[in-house]
A and B are shown apart, each in its own frame.
Chain A
Amino acid sequence: MTVSDDAGQNELETPAARRMRLIERYGVFAVVILMMVILSALEPDIFPTTQNLTNILRQIAMNALLALGLYIVIMTAGIDLSVGSIMALATMLLAMVDTSGMPWPLVLLVGPLVGIACGAVNGLGLTVLRLPHPFIMTLGTLYSIRGITNLVSGGRPVSGVSQEVRFLGSGEIPLPFLGEYASFPVSAIVILVCYGGVAYFINKVSLGRHIVAVGGNPQAARVSGINVDRILLIVYCLSGFFAGMAALMMAGRTGAGFPNAGIGAELDAIAAVIIGGASFFGGRGSVLGVFAGVLVMGLLRNGLNLMDVSAFWQQTMIGMIVVGAVYVDVLRRRAGATS
């Protein structure tokens, strides 16, 4: 029996492959730190303040939750284009039931439940109708769920969401020891819990491992006795669930349901997952990486805003970063193939 040791494994690895593996694993964190250093140097009076840093956490809440759902989907080599629409519908419905007097604990359930229901439609469309690719099913629901949002609201915003319901999205925990007005957003705690929960689920729970296996080789999962259709259904429900959680953030921040909320939000979420190093081909990517991807986008927006750079530049740069991140994935695959 050969002794298993890391040194032996590293001998097999070419220096190029090893470098790519390190870049893949830690590259996006290096980018986050680099951006923070640069922004601190450029805007020393504003950027590194508690106020601004917690602001970034407030701003990324919605994208962080949508990206978390998409991460799980992309792990299976799938895609969910409908999360922006799901979030809008969930926000709208919870605003409507809240303003019609439903008790707030029930209203809080409406967001995630609407999300799960929409996700179930995606999952069933994929597995029961046997549509060739989730792109098609979720493109359909991107339109239809947006349409339903407009139908139920008559295309008008519904405002006046109660404080209790808004708490998760806009509540603040005072941090008096950091200054008179310093506070920590409740939404950041929601994100922490959700990310921690998904990381545990994907890495430790058998169902989570089955999701990773389906992403690696659905056929292997199938012959191992895993019900792949059931896994896909769960995955799209989870994506919907996190869109519903994002709806709670949205309702909290704005206090209203807007029929046009979250148009294009699915693209930001996909971008964050890809920047975070998850492979579009499935089976590869970490929760921590996704969080870093969300941070990169949040820092970029924040920094460019602080420096009064136009939103047009933000778009341009996010596009370049997405391509750069995927190029790293391509290089990694190439290094892997030749080593």
Chain B
Amino acid sequence: MTRETGPLLEMRGITKHFGAITALDQVDLQLYSGEVLGVVGDNGAGKSTLMKVLSGLYSASSGEVILDGRPVQLNSPRDAQGMGIEMVYQDLALAGNLPVHENIYLGREPGRQHFGIKIVDRKLSRRLAQEHLDRLHIEVKSVDQKVEELSGGQAQAVAIARATAFDARLVIMDEPTAALAIKEVGKVLDLIKRLSDHGTGVILISHRMDDVFFVCDRVMALFHGRNFEESEISGTSRNEVIGWIMGTKGHTEGLAHDRL
């Protein structure tokens, strides 16, 4: 974490309306390089919406995003990718009819440009995908396997591989462990630690307090689309964070739910 240099990312006063629904209301967020920020909140609190604003998928109704101290326009996922912002979506968003390696490089295929037309280099795509998966300690039978034939955990791994294939400065993971068996959860959390060791900022959305307290440096809670509370991990407890999720402050003991 490099606090001296100011935050890698700041979101200020982000508001998002869907018709009459206000999904986000004046939400602020800061993230430092190499920091792992946990974002928690009840179902429908606005976590995914906030992150989709950051990944360029949604445009905010108002508010600004500041990267390295400069305001940026994120009008499309391509814009965000161009600035080194990558996201693993809650619904994974993979093309089941395409093989693993094509999903990892979709939209950014390795290849040669001729007269404005890019010819995909499949061999290179396969090789790069395999090397990248090896680096992440992700096992699939073959990078040629179609994603629709993968298990939930493997598909999750492919989505993570896509988000980390281009040396992102900021990786957003929306409930990456929700569908995973315990062993796979450990792998994802280890990967998050390694990303942050390399100076990548990570935002982790999770309902699992074990995950949040294992990898996050800081945690912030949204409640009904607003900032509710945040703290360094060392300065809070599971019960307190669970309280925030349910919209109560100052509870450190005695909640009915020990864990979510």
Contact of A205 with B119 in the complex, beta carbons under 8 Å: yes
Does B111 count as interface, using CB distance less than 8 angstroms? yes
Measured CB to CB, the closest approach of chain B to A43, in angstroms, equals 41
Beta-carbon contact of B117 and A205 below 8 Å: yes
User: Is A206 in contact with B109, judged by CB distance below 8 angstroms?
Assistant: yes
A9 at the interface (CB under 8 A from B): yes
> A215 contacts which of B93, B97, B139 (Cβ < 8 Å)?
B97
Within 8 A of A (CB), among B98-143: 98, 102-103, 106-109, 111, 117-120, 122, 134, 139-143
Contact of A2 among B96, B122, B139 (CB under 8 A): B139
B residues near A336, Cβ cutoff 8 Å: 148
In the complex the two chains form, what is the Cα distance from A150 to B111 in whole Å? 47
The CA-CA distance from A223 to B88 in the complex, in Å, is 9
Query: Which one, A204, A207, A212, contacts B97 given CB within 8 A?
Result: A212
Nearest B residue to A2, CB-CB: B139
- Which one of A5, A12, A221, A225 contacts B95 once the chains associate, using CB atoms below 8 Å? A221
Query: Do most interface residues of chain A lie in helix, strand or loop, or is the interface mixed?
Result: helix
Binds A, one of B76-84, B182-190, B218-226, B250-258: B76-84
Residue interface bits A2-14, CB-to-B below 8 A is 1, else 0: 1011001100100
Chain B count of residues within 8 A CB distance of the other chain: 39
Asked whether B94 is an interface residue with its Cβ less than 8 Å from the other chain, the reply is yes
Overall SS of chain B's interface: loop
CB distance from A21 to the nearest CB of B (A): 11
CB distance from A224 to the nearest CB of B (A): 4
Q: B57, A221: Cβ atoms under 8 Å?
A: no
Residues of chain B with a CB closer than 8 A to A223's CB? 55, 57, 77, 87, 89, 93
CB-based nearest B residue for A217: B95
B104 to chain A, nearest CB (A): 10
Would you mind naming 16 contact pairs between A and B with Cβ atoms under 8 Å apart? A2-B140, A204-B120, A209-B106, A215-B97, A216-B96, A216-B98, A217-B96, A219-B91, A219-B93, A223-B77, A223-B87, A223-B93, A225-B81, A225-B107, A283-B96, A284-B97
Task: Give 11 new A-B contacts, CB below 8 A, not counting A2-B140, A224-B162.
Answer: A209-B102, A209-B106, A212-B95, A213-B102, A215-B97, A220-B92, A220-B103, A221-B106, A223-B89, A224-B106, A226-B107
Measuring CB to CB, which residues of chain B are less than 8 angstroms from any residue of chain A?
A: 55, 57, 76-78, 81, 87, 89, 91-98, 102-103, 106-109, 111, 117-120, 122, 134, 139-145, 148-149, 162
